Amino acid sequence: MGRLTTSFVLGYHGCDAEVAREAVNRGTPILQSDRAYDWLGPGAYFWESDPTRAMEWARWKVERGEYSQPAVVGAIIDLRNCLDLTNREDVDLVSHAYDSFAQLQDRAGLPLPTNKSVNGDPNADLLLHFLDCAAFRHLHQLVAKAGMEPFDTIRGVFTEGDRAFPGSEIRQKTHTQIAVRSNDCIKRLFYPLEDGVIQFAAET
């Protein structure tokens, strides 16, 4: 469970330029998302090895009027105790957590949340992960109740976007996403390559 992953990866976080400056120059922690539809549950989100996808996200947020200027922050991430959804055993853990959560909802007479598409999405991708997020939250509760070591990070692969070419099952926005639950896992922050130079944040 989480021990078969490589230790360090590079992740990229799309954000507003002011947030990037604060993170890289002053060491301000990346904000942890805690929305009911977060894909991997609560955490600070990064695209693994994909600064281009992170910048696409930031530009989309600008189009929506949520950011002023798009930017990307790179991070050296120590996955540590990682719930890795590319690993069969870890997927089984989430499945068992779902079963437990579904039983609780049924006993309480409450409906299960559902994953939903964003209005206007041409691919009808289920981008609002209400059900998945609820399962992850419940898993974290089960882990804490059992006195087990909490997960520091969660890693998953998601298919998204248009087909790469006609008849293909490869999607243009398919990506590996990491939710960092413990800020200690973020070892260094930097701006992605610019003129061949990586600009690291000062050590804290």
| Average pLDDT value for residue range 115-136 | 82
> What pLDDT does residue 85 have?
96
Mean of pLDDT over the chain: 90
> What pLDDT does residue 47 have?
97
| Average pLDDT value for residue range 33-39 | 96
> What pLDDT does residue 195 have?
52
> 117 falls in which pLDDT band (50, 70, 90)?
confident
Query: Dihedral through CA 161, CA 55, CA 136, CA 118, nearest 10?
Result: -50
> 127 falls in which pLDDT band (50, 70, 90)?
confident
Classify 49 as helix, strand or coil.
Answer: coil
> 7 falls in which pLDDT band (50, 70, 90)?
confident
Whether this model's pTM surpasses 0.75: yes
Residue 12 reports pLDDT greater than 60? yes
How far is 15 from 71, CA to CA, in rounded Å?
Answer: 5
> What pLDDT does residue 118 have?
78
DSSP string, 64-89: TTS-SSEEEEEEEEE--SEEETTSHH
> What pLDDT does residue 120 have?
54
